Chain A
Amino acid sequence: MSDNTFTLDGAVIEFRAGDTIMDAALRTGAYIPHLCHNPEFEPHGSCRVCLVEVNGRCVSACTQPATAGMQVDSASDAIGDARRSLLQMLFVEGNHVCPGCEKSGECQLQAVAYYANMLSPHFTHFFPRREVDASHPDFAIDYNRCILCELCVRASRDVDGKNVFTISGRGIDSHLVVNSPSGKLGDSDFTAADKAAHVCPVGAILPKHRGFEQPIGKRLYDRQPISVVGDVAAHEREGD
């Protein structure tokens, strides 16, 4: 074993100095399911869907530094079960109605759930009361679908330099908020050109004026699984 490799489910993965497990896996094309991670941004580690086992300990692949010789297990039954439960928790926490969602087929939550063999939400639904904000001319926010990955927060702050989004509340009351006097997106300086407009892995931040342009059944993840085609954000520009 050389000093810059580790194994992921038995396969040898090469890594560079400063890599996390996720960085190295993504570079070599190995798929570890994830939602809050996007290689363009600082790792976050909040969704925990990239849970892997390293030498008997569960860690998030997106935040764990790669070290030589580590044995990373991402495909075991135990990890699969844990990942499925985490996804089910995200589903019941919000209001995710896939058949009626414009993002269906291009939604990472849905695609990762398929990948993880999630067949039902399993847990009791919370059915929270959440708003839809259609105040912006070009984009709508459906808070029902937000999974608190903070990608829009990070994109707006770190790339757009605008701080349009932030997280408020605590615990189960944590929620995404828009930084504007009214709290509405239309009242902020958010634009369609913002990076933050193109990073949402679910259907929480959606462009207006184009509904069901591609029929369900022919969308990104309808054609190929997420383990092959990767994040929706990386495809969004092509689809435009």
Chain B
Amino acid sequence: MESGGTVHSVIDGLAGSEGIRRDRLLQYLYALQGHFSHVPPEAIDRLASDLELPASHIRGVIAFYSFLHEMPRGDFDILFSDSITDHMQGSRELHRQLCERLGVASGQPRPDGRVTVDLTSCTGMCDQGPALLVNGLAVARLDAARIDTIAGLVEAGTALADWPPEFFAVEDNIRRRDLLLDDSSEGNALQALQVRGAEAILESLERSGLRGRGGAGFPTATKWRLCRESDADAHYVVCNADEGEPGTFKDRVLLNSHADRMVEGMTLCAGVIDARQGYIYLRAEYRHLREPLEAVLQRRREAGLLGRAILGSDGFDFDIEIHMGAGAYVCGEESSLIESLEGKRGIPRKRPPFPVNRGFHNRPTVVNNVETFMAAALIAQHGADWFRGAGTGPSSGTKLLSISGDCERPGIYEYPYGVSIREILADCGARDAQAVQVAGAAGATVAASEFDRAIAFDDLPTGGSFMVFDKSRDLLDMVLNFSRFFVHESCGFCTPCRVGGVLLRDLVEKVHAGHASDYDLEEMRSIGSLIRTSSHCGLGTTAPNPVLDTLDKFPEIYRRRLTGNGFEPAFDLDAALSDARRIAGRDDETAHAGVES
């Protein structure tokens, strides 16, 4: 918690000289949360009055984002990353240990207001987990000793600035370099744009075959061209740095070590589509990258590569602002991200219209992944053939993978598209893999019999997540973790994802607890298929993937826990009778369900 200042002085400071703006609402709320460990009621009233918004609207925004709260959190707000790879590295035991040491119940602030310990979705430290966030800052490589130290620091009320700096060290762990990571040339994509013109750059991008690296694989040149040709008084460039897919962390590394190139790619895009303003939408879990990124932007401004008259070229004006997310996986979906960028709840928009026609403030907007912007800059500089030299057919170039789970060398691996799962597993030292989860919780579960399949858009597309599970793991733990994740992250807009997601999770829990029957497996299939076909956005349509995939490929993880019966009730009749037994003061045999009296 950053202390000092009243609600009004903090809001005045946030509004600054440009005055208060509705589309910055989420940014104000995020900052207020940081200052006061919650958004105080007087801040809501003040914002409601200044922004002419209903207070309920502001409360609705707060309630949407996991990292915003109306009730105070502790002075130290500690969130354990709760992804399956964290579990595999022992996070739950450490979470329990810290709760015990500090005498808190998970999710509840300690009565003295000192600390909250809670869980959060994957924080993108899977190669160096278990990990947590303390007041938004990442602490990785947790072990029992580190937890002990943290407990001591919290009890002593030690300010984060005085915590051991190594606690906040985040490693890049780059293990394999190819086209993108190998390149150390001086950036000259913007000079190329100046010399060759926007049309020639678009042609290079087209020939390169570059497709979006976030996972969906939309051709980048087409996106830029559609946006460029969409007539409007303003165009925008947005970098999607909301890397929320469990098991993905390659954008964290790119933002840490290759931010210049990414910003160059955004600026190139701005030149092509004629945008004056760009945004980097940075997930709150990567709060530690904010200042370094600001420094990169500032350096580029000073070097004439950002701001007014870029490269001395009259009229080439473009600047970039960093917007913080506040804990919502769905905001990785581009239209939710735009809603969030406008300061609203991150509910995915209807499509059409598409962002290239009506995006940020209903103006044509390009939203691309960090890696896509980086690749675009390098293609402008080195040419389409350089890029096409790697990869295969419809999947040209390389892909950065974030590898975690059961392997000796987790980290970042850059491969030409077309690489097989088998080769990747050998490189990262995964000896005994039974399955790989490719593309995260929303991705595909790949069984050992499929390890000759390839990372490619027409085989196994991925935004970069690659989680290895060896034979000692129960894959149902993974399925349970993912189905809980999707319930937590569903925006709640459409019926199948909102309600179906809960039904699906409850059934996975029923199997996990050993109470399910064959009938329940069929139910899971039919609910999963319905969510897949009828949901409003990509989060919903992919949410049932882990269940549907494992039902097909790993039926034994379900079957070995089934009861023999054809039907099992959804509730435990005997447990339901416990209140009655207590009231009646009975606990004899015939007072229990299932016993014939």
B63 at the interface (CB under 8 A from A): yes
A159 at the interface (CB under 8 A from B): no
- Residues of B within 8 Å of A173, CB to CB, are 63, 492
Residue in A43, A48, A171, A173 with the greatest tally of chain B CB atoms within 10 Å: A171
- Residues of B within 8 Å of A180, CB to CB, are 56
With contacts A82-B534, A179-B54 taken as known, whether A172 is within 8 angstroms of B64 at the C-beta atoms is no
Asked if A172 contacts B535 (CB within 8 A), the reply is no
Asked if B489 contacts A171 (CB within 8 A), the reply is yes
Asked if A166 contacts B57 (CB within 8 A), the reply is yes
Asked if A90 contacts B55 (CB within 8 A), the reply is no
Residue in B501, B535, B536 with the greatest tally of chain A CB atoms within 10 Å: B536
Q: Can you name 18 A-B pairs with beta carbons within 8 Å?
A: A45-B536, A46-B493, A46-B494, A46-B536, A51-B534, A82-B530, A82-B534, A85-B530, A86-B496, A126-B502, A169-B63, A170-B492, A171-B498, A172-B501, A174-B492, A174-B498, A179-B54, A179-B55
Residue in B489, B500, B501, B571 with the greatest tally of chain A CB atoms within 10 Å: B500
Asked if A172 contacts B496 (CB within 8 A), the reply is no
Asked if A170 contacts B533 (CB within 8 A), the reply is no
Q: Total A-B residue pairs with C-beta atoms closer than 8 Å? A: 111
A106 at the interface (CB under 8 A from B): no
Q: Once the chains are docked, how many angstroms separate the CA of A89 from the CA of B491?
A: 16
Total interface residues in chain A, CB < 8 Å:
38
Asked if B54 contacts A171 (CB within 8 A), the reply is no
Asked if A172 contacts B487 (CB within 8 A), the reply is yes
Q: Once the chains are docked, how many angstroms separate the CA of A172 from the CA of B492?
A: 6
Asked if A90 contacts B64 (CB within 8 A), the reply is no
Q: Once the chains are docked, how many angstroms separate the CA of A90 from the CA of B498?
A: 10
B526 at the interface (CB under 8 A from A): yes
- Residues of B within 8 Å of A181, CB to CB, are 55
Per-residue CB contact flags for chain B residues 331-362 toward chain A (1 = under 8 Å, else 0) read: 00000000000000100001010000000000
Asked if A171 contacts B496 (CB within 8 A), the reply is no
Asked if A168 contacts B63 (CB within 8 A), the reply is yes
Nearest CB of B to A215, in Å: 32
B319-341 residues with Cβ-Cβ distance < 8 A to A are 328
- Residues of A within 8 Å of B57, CB to CB, are 163, 166, 179
A123 at the interface (CB under 8 A from B): yes
With contacts A63-B350, A172-B490, A172-B502 taken as known, whether A177 is within 8 angstroms of B60 at the C-beta atoms is yes
Q: What residue of chain B has the Cβ atom nearest to residue A63's Cβ?
A: B350
Q: What residue of chain B has the Cβ atom nearest to residue A88's Cβ?
A: B499
Choose one: A46, A86, A168, A172; the contact of B530 (CB below 8 Å): A86
Q: What residue of chain A has the Cβ atom nearest to residue B540's Cβ?
A: A48
With contacts A85-B527, A124-B506 taken as known, whether A65 is within 8 angstroms of B501 at the C-beta atoms is no
**Interface on A for B, CB 8 Å cutoff?**
43, 45-49, 51, 58, 60, 63, 65, 82, 85-86, 89-90, 92-93, 123-124, 126, 148, 163, 166-174, 177-181, 183
Q: What residue of chain B has the Cβ atom nearest to residue A65's Cβ?
A: B352
Nearest CB of B to A65, in Å: 7
Q: Once the chains are docked, how many angstroms separate the CA of A103 from the CA of B7?
A: 46
Choose one: B56, B500, B534; the contact of A178 (CB below 8 Å): B56
Q: What residue of chain A has the Cβ atom nearest to residue B523's Cβ?
A: A123
- Residues of B within 8 Å of A89, CB to CB, are 495-496, 499-500, 503
**Interface on B for A, CB 8 Å cutoff?**
54-57, 59-60, 63-65, 328, 345, 350, 352, 487-496, 498-503, 506, 526-527, 530, 533-536, 570-571
- Residues of A within 8 Å of B503, CB to CB, are 89, 123-124
Q: Once the chains are docked, how many angstroms separate the CA of A90 from the CA of B496?
A: 9
- Residues of A within 8 Å of B60, CB to CB, are 166-169, 177
Q: Once the chains are docked, how many angstroms separate the CA of A166 from the CA of B56?
A: 7
- Residues of A within 8 Å of B571, CB to CB, are 124
With contacts A45-B536, A93-B499 taken as known, whether A177 is within 8 angstroms of B59 at the C-beta atoms is yes
- Residues of B within 8 Å of A123, CB to CB, are 503
Q: Once the chains are docked, how many angstroms separate the CA of A46 from the CA of B499?
A: 12
Q: Once the chains are docked, how many angstroms separate the CA of A47 from the CA of B352?
A: 18
Nearest CB of B to A212, in Å: 30
Known contacts A48-B495, A169-B492; 19 additional CB pairs below 8 A are: A45-B536, A58-B534, A60-B536, A85-B526, A86-B495, A92-B499, A93-B495, A124-B503, A124-B506, A163-B57, A166-B54, A166-B60, A167-B60, A169-B60, A170-B491, A171-B489, A171-B501, A172-B490, A177-B59
